[in-house]
Structure 1
Amino acid sequence: MWDLARAVFLGTLQGLTEFLPISSSAHLRIFPELLGWGDPGAAFTAVIQIGTELAVLIYFRKDIWRIGSMWLRSLVKPEYRGHLDARMGWYIIIGSLPIVLLGITLKDVIENDFRSLWIVGSTLVVLGIVLGVADRYSRNDKKIRQLGLRDAILMGLAQAAALVPGVSRSGATISMGRALGYEREAATRYAFLLAIPAVVGAGLYELPEIPHRDNAYGWGPTVVATVVSFLVGYAAIAWLLRYVSTYSYLPFVLYRVGLGGMTLILVAAGVLTA
């Protein structure tokens, strides 16, 4: 029962933080350590993210169906190849390649060295500042329909930086989108769509590791955490898209810097084990 209770907590934490630009992987690394539970492991973290991506699939089902169907039609009918949705399909595929290739190449480093709390705390602070600067000085005049191949590649490269816990997949992609001049809602929406192949792929890739290795939980708690992350994540998507249409990312920037700074202080003081 205790493992299930912890799974509910971690699933809620994952659902709340996956789509906010504050790094869900950092929270799943820091808070269990603070509570004395230890690192739940990279496999557990990757698998329960499938729950939040299922929330994306359902929330954006109309967009995904429209993009996917137009992309497939464009493969056989040249007249559709210039359509925005057909191009968007290619942009999501191409933008996903950096994180997939680096994720496979650096698998051992990601699951061990990159999970150091020194790294997590530092990336929370540094990438929080990057997000704040990009959001503050963005031209804020480009819509998602203006997305081109160059910008898709750049945002894909930014997303790949999220292989380091603390960076934040959505935060890195949104930061690049804002730096390129995209409106908050456009950058956020594309960040959600771009994450689908990478997160689902990573979760399925790590699925065989759940019964053993570095996973602190078995199948039962992992499934519970995944379901909870889906339910909480769905609500978080709707809230964030409404929020960014009116407000800036400043509260998330301040939160990142505060959490990262606190983490570094606690590690230096020996309260947390890096």
Structure 2
Amino acid sequence: MSMFETCTLALIQGLTEFLPISSSAHLILPSQILGWQDQGLGFDVSVHIGTLLAVVGYLRKEVKQLLGALFRWIFNGEHSPDATLAWMITLSTIPAGIFGLLMKNFVEIYLRSAWVITATCIIFGLLLWWVDVYARCEDDEYTTTPKSALLIGLAQAIAIIPGASRSGMTMTMALYIGYTREAAARFSFLMSIPIIVLAGSYLGLGWIQSDVPILWKPILVGIFVSFFSAYICIHWFLKLITNIGMKPFIIYRMVLGTGLAIFLATK
């Protein structure tokens, strides 16, 4: 993989990981359409590290607050809204963890195709549009219950399908439940932390056990580019979501899905 491809894919990962447009789809498409070679496990691990550092770094105040409250609950029995939210984020991670382990091979073999991405971009884009139009937008993330945490977690599990979008599915479910757009985005970003850690650890273990040589230059470039692009993306998304809503991302998904369908049909 050339340095241009490395930088491009890391930039795509950083910009799309936290937007409701599917990072996995945008990483698959270059190989499907442009014939780029597979980026390999080392690159996958590097962009997971980059995006993880970005979300933890940007939400460092919230992460520190939630972890502190969680530990105080565990060791001192001190209950608080922050501790409850931390438990709800943990609970929401379980469905994706189970689904990922059980369905990963099936998805890799049968669902990593441009036609699947075309369908999921349009179908889940329309679902996001419907929810965004009719959402109550009344609750914040501190109103999360075990039931709502599991529902959002199930939405995250479905997002293992390329094109569905992890952030898109979790925000769609959160909006459906009644969260404000800002609360849906914050909860989605916070619950991305444990799932990125799990996914990155799984990929890292496979990488360590493989015979693939470690190429530090593309790995470091992947971490650096994905970190900065993801950090900027999180910042502006949270700043603008109240005013712009989900409409620009819904339009983008429709254009991408339609364009892909036309391209594939005439290929």
Match of 1:18 in 2: 17
Match of 2:90 in 1: 93
Match of 1:161 in 2: 158
Letter in 2 for 1:66: Q
Report whether the alignment pairs 1:114 with 2:117.
no
Q: What residue ranges of structure 1 are gaps of 5+ in the alignment?
A: none
Query: Mapping of 1:1-274 within 5 angstroms?
Result: 3-40=2-39, 44-45=43-44, 47-78=46-77, 80-81=78-79, 83-210=80-207, 218-270=215-267
1:208 offset after TM fit, Å? Answer: 4.1
1:105 offset after TM fit, Å? Answer: 1.2
Query: Could you give the per-residue CA deviations for residues 28-67 of structure 1, whole angstroms, max 9, x where no partner exists?
Result: 1113433331443677446513311210011111111110
CA distance in 1, matches of 2:249, 2:57: 25
CA contact (8 A) 2:42 2:219 kept: no
CA contact (8 A) 2:44 2:203 kept: no
Worse-superposed segment, 165-174 or 138-147 = 138-147
Give the TM-score, by structure 2 length. 0.92
CA distance in 2, matches of 1:134, 1:245: 15
CA distance in 2, matches of 1:212, 1:114: 25
Aligned pair in 2 of structure 1 residues 166, 43: CA closer, same or farther (>3 Å)? farther
CA contact (8 A) 1:210 1:218 kept: no
Aligned pair in 2 of structure 1 residues 95, 142: CA closer, same or farther (>3 Å)? same
CA distance in 2, matches of 1:260, 1:210: 32
Aligned pair in 2 of structure 1 residues 222, 266: CA closer, same or farther (>3 Å)? farther
Q: What residue ranges of structure 2 are gaps of 5+ in the alignment?
A: none
Q: Which secondary structure state, in structure 1, belongs to the residue aligned with residue 159 of structure 2?
A: helix
Q: CA RMSD in A?
A: 2.1
Q: Which secondary structure state, in structure 1, belongs to the residue aligned with residue 19 of structure 2?
A: coil
Q: Which secondary structure state, in structure 2, belongs to the residue aligned with residue 112 of structure 1?
A: helix
Worse-superposed segment, 233-242 or 33-42 = 33-42
Query: Could you give the per-residue CA deviations for residues 178-218 of structure 1, whole angstroms, max 9, x where no partner exists?
Result: 111110000000000011111121112112444898x9x95
Letter in 2 for 1:157: L
CA distance in 1, matches of 2:125, 2:223: 27
Aligned length: 265
Identity of aligned residues (%): 37
